[in-house]
Amino acid sequence: MNEKKKKASFLTTEFYLAIFLVVVLLLLGVLAKDFYSINNMMSLLNTFSYILISAIGMNMIIITSNIDVSTGALISVVCLFTAALGKAGVPFAGLLPAAMLMGAALSTLNGLFITKMKIPAIVATLATTQIFQGVLPLLVEGSIYDLPQSFTWLAFEAKIFGIIPASVLICLIVTVIALIFMKYSKFSKKIYAIGNNANGARLAGVNVNRTVVITYAIAGALFGISAIIIATAGQRVTNTMGTGLEMTFIAAVVLGGTSTAGGSGKIIGTVIGAFILAMIAPAINYLGISPNWSDAVKGAIIIISVVVSGAKYLKKKRVIPAEKLAKAGGEAS
Amino acid sequence: MKKKLLKFSFNKALFLIWLIIFFGIAIKSPSFLTAPYIINVMLRNIVEIGMVALPMTLIIITGGIDLSVGNTMILSAMLGGIAYTRWGTAAAILVTLLTGAACGLLNGIIIAKAKISAMVTTLATMYLFLGLARGISKGDSIYSYGFAEFLGNISISGLPIQIWLYIILAVIFTLLLGKSIFGRKLYGIGLNINATKYSGVNTDRMLILIYTLCGIICAIAAFIFLGRFTSVKYDAGTSFNLKVITIVVLGGTSIMGGVGDMKGTILGTLIIATLNSGLTVMNIPIDVQTIVQGIVLIIALIACAVVTERSKKKRIIKVDTGEGIKSETA
């Protein structure tokens, strides 16, 4: 009974977000018709793809009640790494696994720092951010340019039905796998358990450290996929391509209703959150507002949605007797 | 008693690290040891970061964090600069301080009243303040004015005025955290916010107060920042946030809250200042400096983890319950 209520209230958080999204999309249809032009939709879908792929990884990390602020720097490293391979003529079929491996390796480093050294995730990844960022310019001076056609194949030639970018297909595959994985796999239950109560999970027989490291590795592979979508967008790869992206990913996860305290959160919410974040910049552009305001709008949307969902949580928490709790849950849903 | 001894030894270790770095660099390149270099390069470049690290220590001790400090600083500098071109110096000072306080207050109210975790809140307000600064300035630079230049460039009896300001603030904050009831309450909030609340502390008000205080200090740092660089763009504060947190964490303040002190933060500031300027004088490229900073941070973290682990063994039960409650409320 109680379980059912809880599930229903979770659905509504995402439900509200989805309604918000639909309303905004309808408004855009009325106010800015050019927003639905093929070109804009395709570039929006491309942005959405790489935000979502990484946000899914970030979501898994945040569910274990950890965090990763080094993602931006990590993506920059992987971008340069793949560019160096691409320059040597490696085709896309070789670049993708290489990027995933590289991302997973670097992210595993984060996981090891956090679990073996017992450093809180936010500061451990803060330190690795500095190391990644410092290593970058040593490897490459400024940028790698004049990349061959085989490198930019993903962005320019690989189109489904001639228009839809292939990154969308990758994103779709990743999302479907993630949805199934997070709902049915045994491993995902461990992730949720660790986020709720790491000690409890350990006593119940979960190898907490190993699970967290594997979670970081999986997330790192996803960051690698995002990196390759970002890197192949042009013939020039600079060493700041991922800078600041980590905040966008965390924002997408938080907007999607995942609590940074860990233990809760759904992939569907992250999908909607990522779409809203990817939409803000083009929407503002097509509404005729100066693009200078896009960050402010982004911040305001995150604050409002977080406060609204937080207010609901507060209301639930204040009621102590079980019967009242059930009642309040019923009202909320 | 045991805990006090251990904490003291961590500060002593930090001091030792600083001495080693300082003299190591001084032996390698003697031009480092001259008074003008130390004052004008080593200390002046760190003042804003060090200044904001002081209230940040208070925030981190309560178990919170503020990722929006750099953007608060830039937003207040920006609005102050715009106010100066319209209404003059007095208005500029007032607007800068009020902006800082308002930003901090917004953070504090959302964190304390709406019970949103500090990281999420300040992440969102970081975007908001960055976006406001960008939208209001339309992407243009804001230029420095009389008062900011006065704070950024004038020396009094050999020391630049911002260093005097830093020393005064450092003393005030050390006393505030170490010797006052206010400081004890902050530790209480960090260790167990519910217990502190039920023992009669208005925790909401305390949290709002320290975030507002942090905003005001950001505004003071804004004057110095603007004065030192003469012009400021909207995105100048982005890397500032993490630098401040690095210093506080390097100083032995636990990101989980409840552990740490102001002396550690001041030592952390000195270490980062010495490293930055020392590696520059040794002609080491800036990228290697970033790596060195990261490695120093990791070493400090591991050292800190070892120390707390050892002290944890003495009071396992206490620590466990504390964590349990915190994860519920966070």
Tell me, yes or no, if B253 comes closer than 8 A to chain A by beta carbon: no
pLDDT score of A85: 86
Kindly tell me the burial class for residue A89, based on how many C-beta atoms sit within 10 Å of its own C-beta (0-12, 13-18, 19 or more): exposed
Chain B residues within 8 A of A310 when measuring between CB atoms:
114-116
> Which of A140, A203, A245, A303 has the most B C-beta neighbours within 10 Å, making it the best mutation to test the interface with B?
A303
Q: For residue A61, is it within any domain? A: yes
3-class DSSP state for residue B159? strand
Q: Which of A120, A136, A297 sits opposite B131 (nearest CB)?
A: A297
Assess contact for B269 and B49: CB atoms under 8 A: yes
Tell me, yes or no, if B299 comes closer than 8 A to chain A by beta carbon: no
Rounded to whole angstroms, the Cα distance separating A43 from A285 reads 13
pLDDT score of A191: 92
Higher pLDDT: B146 or B206? It is B206
- Chain-chain contact of B128 with A300 (C-beta, under 8 angstroms): yes
> Which of B65, B246, B301 has the most A C-beta neighbours within 10 Å, making it the best mutation to test the interface with A?
B301
What's the number of domains chain A is made of? Answer: 1
Place of tokens 């509404």: A287
Measured N-to-C along each axis, helices A245-255 and B118-137 cross at an angle, to the nearest 10 degrees, of 120
Q: Are strands A237-238 and A164-165 parallel, antiparallel or unpaired?
A: unpaired
- Chain-chain contact of A254 with B120 (C-beta, under 8 angstroms): yes
Banded pLDDT at B107 (limits 50, 70, 90)? very high
Chain A residues within 8 A of B236 when measuring between CB atoms:
none
Q: Which of B110, B246, B287 sits opposite A307 (nearest CB)?
A: B110
Q: For residue A122, is it within any domain? A: yes
Chain A residues within 8 A of B125 when measuring between CB atoms:
299, 303
- Chain-chain contact of B123 with A250 (C-beta, under 8 angstroms): yes
- Chain-chain contact of A122 with B291 (C-beta, under 8 angstroms): no
Give the residue from B48, B28, B34, B55 showing the smallest Cα distance to B272: B48
Nearest residue in chain A measured CA to CA from B249:
A123
Assess contact for A151 and A145: CB atoms under 8 A: no
Banded pLDDT at B147 (limits 50, 70, 90)? confident
**Helix %, strand %, coil % of chain A (to 5):** 75, 0, 20
Higher pLDDT: B158 or A275? It is A275
Q: Which of B127, B137, B320 sits opposite A299 (nearest CB)?
A: B127
Domains in chain B (CATH in brackets) are: 2-325 (1.10.3470)
Q: Is the ipTM of this complex over 0.85?
A: no
Higher pLDDT: B34 or B213? It is B213
Average pLDDT across each block of 10 residues of chain A; the chain has 333 residues. List them in order: 50 75 85 80 88 94 90 91 84 88 93 86 84 80 76 74 81 93 91 90 91 95 92 81 83 84 84 89 83 83 79 57 46 41
pLDDT score of B289: 78
What is the 8-class DSSP label of residue A164?
Answer: E
What is the reported pTM?
Answer: 0.80
Tell me, yes or no, if B65 comes closer than 8 A to chain A by beta carbon: yes
Residue A284's CATH number: 1.10.3470
Q: Which of A123, A254, A303 sits opposite B128 (nearest CB)?
A: A303
Banded pLDDT at B181 (limits 50, 70, 90)? very high
Range of the domain at A66: 38-293
The string of pLDDT tens digits covering residues B192-245 is 888 999 998 999 999 999 999 999 999 999 999 988 888 888 888 777 887 898
